[in-house]
Amino acid sequence: MKFLKQVFHFGFAWCRWKLAGSPTRSPEEIRRLWLTCCGPCVHYHQDLEQCTICNCYVRDETDMKVNKLVYATERCPLKEPCFEREA
Ligand code: SF4
């Protein structure tokens, strides 16, 4: 069930990203968000490389397919988000 939810969430996020014109964050911004937000976050699961709140993969990489930080249409899911959508 968790896997299906993850697939649905990714599909929805991907469509939103495509509809916005496929905007991506720069490698410098991805690095900054990694160092200041997800890397030190208590909700980051190091072994799974996932955020345990939204179950998205977050990594210190610019790999487009499997890193939430790359997609400028994505935000941190916390009530007081560590980073916002940029597009
Ligand atoms: S997306 Fe937000 S809650 Fe999730 S690991 Fe990153 S900073 Fe933490």
Distance 79 CA to ligand 1 centre (A): 11
Domain ranges of the chain: 2-70
pLDDT tens digits for range 52-82: 999 999 998 877 668 999 999 999 999 999 9
Q: Cα separation of 86 and 61, whole Å?
A: 18
82 lines ligand 1 (CB under 6 A): yes
Distances (CA, A) of 35 to 1, 30, 80: 31, 9, 18
| CA of 62 relative to ligand 1 center, distance in Å | 17
Q: Is the pTM of this model over 0.85?
A: yes
Reported residue count of the chain is 87
Cα–Cα dist 67/57, whole Å: 5
Cβ count near 72 (within 10 Å):
19
Measured CA distances, 23 to 17, 64, 70, 72, 75 (Å)? 7, 11, 9, 6, 13
Query: Mean pLDDT score of the chain, rounded to an integer?
Result: 92
